[in-house]
Structure 1
Amino acid sequence: MDTLPLPDDGNAAPPPTPDQLRELYSLMAAVRHLDVSAVAWQRQGIIPGYAPELGQEAAQVGSGYAVDTARDFVFPTYREMGVARAMGVDMVAYMSTHKATWHGGLYDPVKSRLAPIQAVVAGSVLHAVGWAHGQTLEQNDGVALAYLGDGASSQGDVHEAMNFAAVMKAPVVFFVQNNGWAISVPTERQVAGGSVAARAAGYGIPGVQVDGNDVVAVLEATRRAIAHCRSGNGPVVVEAMTYRRGPHSTSDDPGRYRSLDEERSGAGEDPLRRLRRRLLDDGIADDAFFAAAQAAAAAEETSIREGIEALGPRPGSEMFGLVFQETTPALQNQAASWREESEHV
């Protein structure tokens, strides 16, 4: 479905150039390599936990590539590493959150235009609408891009956010990555009607459902949605239909709720293989390019891993000192017990 009005010819974004298509592939290759490696890091004890995005590279890179980091602001969940990479965020600083080095990551949200990672399901949409409404009040032309999953769309916060944004014509794109699963619950068992984009009609706003495994289609749909918002037309819902090929998190076992045959049949074509075929068919990339992209991805992952391992642990006392502006007797007692048990003082 697509109820988003087509832009005027003079405002339509041009299709990606050959250089941009090659850049999109390189970004997806880097994201894929880092994502797979991050799962291995968790198994090796380098990071305590991670939310994989295997299979969602096109949805994330395509949408993140559309962001204007001079004006717009992105509000992620805990699974938007690919978006951060496409936006040029320092990945050691980003991945520090998964190392539990510092809540929200070590990157600067204001400079990077990426809000802190949001672990509360559907929490990012409320923050995005608030920021977008502020843009309207200040007569700025920034657009908020709020990420959520099909599972999060069942939360009441999403209804409140979409309703408020529609009423106030807030410039926010609700970018839904429908990866087929709300942890262990399939979309058809928790999304009435099977489509999140279709709900947009209930709020009187446009909705677009796009092939989330086609990076070019995602890029074009996101660009259209952002342009619609920037023109003062209010919010848009974009639903990227993709598939989570791996576990929900490194503590999840997808084998308990789906078979390998179901995973293979439901996942569709691999996003990287799809773009690779297009580049080869169009004659704008060759085997040497793909080999170089893979080598660059491996080198980047090594550099990020070394940066993560170099980050020392935060002082344990911070868990007590950064809770309240003024401490409480109960917190003081807990801090004293912790020091006695861990520091023997």
Structure 2
Amino acid sequence: MMSIEQFSNISLRGRVAYAISCLENMISALEYDINDWEIVLNYLWTFTDIRYLDDWNEIIVEVIPENLLEFETYEEQKFAHLSKEEYLYLRKLYKSCDLSIHILIREIFELGISHAYSVIEGHGKNSLKCMEQIILFMEKNQFPLPDVRLFLMYSFEENRGWGNRFNGKRISKLLRVRRVDKHLYDLITKVKVTLEAEPDSIIYGELGAGRSDLEMKDTALQSYLEFLKQFNGARCGAIDLWSFETLSSHQYRIADIRGGPDQWLEIGQILYEPLVINKYSGHIYYCKQDHQEVWTKKDLGDFNHFLCHYVFGLKYEEIVPDVHQDEWYSLLDKINRIS
């Protein structure tokens, strides 16, 4: 059995990072599709770099399986952070997964709030007890434990035991796999070469030069950041993706969308309607206003899914009318993306 004393010199942020890594090991051991768990993992990993830990508590309490499954419909509970699409997706996911997942997500939450509204005394007795329960649960159910040595760098001496903020997504084994999609970027490069060979294509399609120096603090935005590093802004038929330099000038519509700039970043537009990314989950939403000026949102999946299927794939026709007269759609057909 692993000794809990090994965690005495690891900060609370480091302890939570270890617990989330336990969940990732469990997901892998159960041979689940890692893509299915991206929403949950993105929300959980925000603990490591979120400014106010109370914000994480409020988010994760909605993600905990037993809490979410308590309600038969989205309307029964006033969710402050989860969208209806996320609620329906997670409800279906939780109903089909092993109960060990349910238990561990609850234990991670308990660990995260173990020192809420208090100072961390000694070496953090409350969180060490939570860590012990998590480790015992993993060992009892024969799930592999992460290597604790990878977390020793997150010192308990930092920030009175809470630990300095860091980008946990960069140490996530599962989200790191999702962040780099070589096939997708090979496809986009192929499109860029095709566009550059046709001088008139600038009217309907253009992919900007990348900026390798860019950084974003939000862990859920890393796939989007990787795109900007390769292609800083794009015009793809009816879809515009803002360059990094112009992002700040395009945020004026966010204030009208529930959650505001704390939850959303406008990254482009489709037919002049905003295209936004959820800073907590990394999912893309196409927003429209009805005749009563109420915003509705269509979930287009995570950023790489959005690129692959809606910008450079067949689902372009689901969000753009009259595609058979659309030059971008014709280009996709030319390179065999519409079939």
Q: If the length of structure 1 is used for normalisation, what is the TM-score?
A: 0.28
Q: If the length of structure 2 is used for normalisation, what is the TM-score?
A: 0.29
More helix by share: 2
- RCO comparison, higher one (Cα < 8 Å, 6+): 1
